[in-house]
Amino acid sequence: MEFGRFQDFLSGLVARQRELFFSGDGKPSIEELLEKLMGSLGEVSGMLTARQVFDSYNEFDDEAKLAFFENLEQNYNANEVAVKLAFEMYTEAATSSNLNRLARAAEPRRLELLRRLNQTPGATHDLVSMRTDLLKLIRDNPNLKAVDENFVRLFTSWFGRGFLVLQTIDWSTSAAILERIIRYEAVHEIKDWDDLRSRIDPVNRRCFAYFHPALTDEPLIFVEVALGYAVPNSIASILEDSPDEGADSAKYTTATFYSISNCQPGLKNITFGNFLIKQVVQELQAEFPSIKQFVTLSPIPGFQRWLDDEAKDEPEEVITLRDEVGALDWDADAVEEKSETISKAVFNYLMHAKRGKYPADPVARFHLGNGAMIYQINTGADLSDKGLSQSRGTMVNYLYDLRFIERNHERFITEGLVEYDGKLKSLLIKS
């Protein structure tokens, strides 16, 4: 039986059993359902109880959801006595068997609860949505971080690379998926269906997305790619470019990743992007052997925050430059007039503003962590309201030089070393 048909069979079974067992008014509390789920249940009873948990949860307001997660944090931890006993046994004899026993004892009951919740059809989607709620609540309830760590641990396993399916998105893709691409685009808004078609249908455009078998028609992350002959220096040159229908695709030399959008807030901090970039590079190389240059045209979402920051932990010359650029009027004319100054400020922001030993800018961390290098700073590259407000109209080309990706990745991860093209060296203010 195919996976989809089997899932339909299970869904129908759960629906029929739900009608049989819960047709009366005696609806159990969610706490009772959770404890029942953690007891000894048959497979069908377990699926049914897990579905009832989700049904109850989905009716909750924010206050009830907070109480639900607090219950998980307080009452579904590891057994302290069992942990202490297992630790003493390991201390006395540090064997592999005792280490495994300690690991099992130290595992919070929450993990097993989440595994059991995931046994009912559609549960993975519900759990991802549940974590979306949890992430919002953590902002004011940091005690729930331990619960989130358990979600992350399981999601990291469930959404491992081996389970991800790469799919090319084109005009023949189902309308349900295309609608989601429009909705989830987070970098450059897709205005309408015509705008979407201009990004995925022309011969010089590609879009790739990762999917997971448990989330039907739900992309996890997608990347939009422009094919051409040179490194682009503005987003208008891509989004407003006319279709390259008459071009010889065998002569394309450059692939530009100009938008990468994560689609599932509940999968935040679950790594997909690095796998996606590398697999897309392989796909494009196979289709277009002439393409030797892989670059991005990326926003700088943290630049304006840095300009507004009063922190003084950078070199004095960088602080002076930051204050100068921060005081500028921001419109197209000002961007053009102060292009060199802005370029210098952006490059030094990427090099000096840190979160730990890594760049503070999230897009820079992503690409540099994947083994790219800073290749080019482009002022006036995005003069939209969003582009001006977050990065003063500036964008960055990160270069994925296939010869040095692994080396760059290792240096970045171990030392926080940021690689950049030699032409940028004159812009750098040394510490």
Catalytically active residues, by annotation? 298, 367
Q: Could you give the C-alpha distances from 410 to 271, 376, 418, 419, in angstroms and in order?
A: 17, 22, 11, 11
CA distance 273 to 78: 33
The first and second tokens of residue 290, run together, are 């002439």
Angle, alpha carbons 36-37-38 (nearest 5°):
90
Helix, strand counts (H, E) of the chain: 20, 9
Instruction: Say how many Å lie between the first and final Cα of the chain, rounded.
Output: 64
DSSP readout, 111-142?
HHHHHHHTTSTTHHHHHHHHHHHHHHHHTT-G
The secondary element (H helix, E strand) that includes residue 365 is helix 362-369
Is residue 10 within 8 A of residue 121, CB to CB? The reply is: yes
- How far is C-alpha 105 from the geometric centre of its chain's CA atoms? 32
Q: Give the residues across from 257 on adjacent strands.
A: 225, 296
Is residue 213 within 8 A of residue 121, CB to CB? The reply is: no
Is residue 102 within 8 A of residue 135, CB to CB? The reply is: no
- Residue found by looking up tokens 């692994």 in the block: 406
Q: Give the residues across from 167 on adjacent strands.
A: 209
Is residue 122 within 8 A of residue 129, CB to CB? The reply is: no
